[in-house]
Amino acid sequence: MARKNGKNMPSPKIMKTKSGAVAIQATSDDGSKELVGIGNVRVIIVPDGKSFFAQGLEIDYAAQGPTVDRAKENFEKGFRATIQQHLELYGNLKHFLVPAPTPIWQEMLPEVTQHNRYFHVSIHKIEVASLPYDGIRYLVAATAA
């Protein structure tokens, strides 16, 4: 533990995936809270029949919704809840930090003209509590707009 002003501060674990995503996880001294930061993740949104499908590439997580905005919202809520579940089940994000399979990359990337990255920061009590997602930039396929 690092010390700041005489108080113990959590030492973060920094994890990088082969696909380029970066995750930072820090635990409070009493173990009741986890700070999680995940970055460098692309989320592709494509039309899927009458709905829209949001697929993470560097982290294999997906959601859908009836509109692009609802697909984003569902992605954000589900992403946060999935992080929460991994923290409760495993105590870490090791099993979450897995890229989408190669066929997904091959299918999704040709749809995209921009390559913005997704960043996520949340604080987890072993109850859901997190920060807003105002800074997320999604990649929406031209056919979905």
* Token couple for 119: 């960043």
Any idea where the domains of the chain sit in the sequence?
A: 2-140
Q: Which residues contact 44 (CB under 8 A, 6 or more apart)?
A: 54, 55, 57, 108, 109, 111, 112, 139, 141
Give the pLDDT score at 41: 87
User: Which range is least confidently modeled, 27-36, 63-72, 81-90, 106-115?
Assistant: 106-115
Work out the pLDDT band at 117, boundaries 50, 70, 90: low
Q: What is the mean pLDDT of the chain?
A: 79
Instruction: Indicate whether 106 pLDDT > 60.
Output: yes
Write phi, then psi, for 51 (nearest 5 degrees): -125, -175
Model confidence, pTM: 0.72
First to last CA, the chain: 48
Q: Is residue 110 very low, low, confident or very high in pLDDT (cuts 50, 70, 90)?
A: low
Give the model's confidence band at 134: pLDDT under 50 very low, under 70 low, under 90 confident, else very high: low
pLDDT at 92: 87
Please, are residues 54 and 43 in contact by the beta-carbon 8 Å criterion? yes
Q: Is the pLDDT of residue 5 over 50?
A: no
With a pLDDT cut of 90, the percent of the chain lying above it is: 28
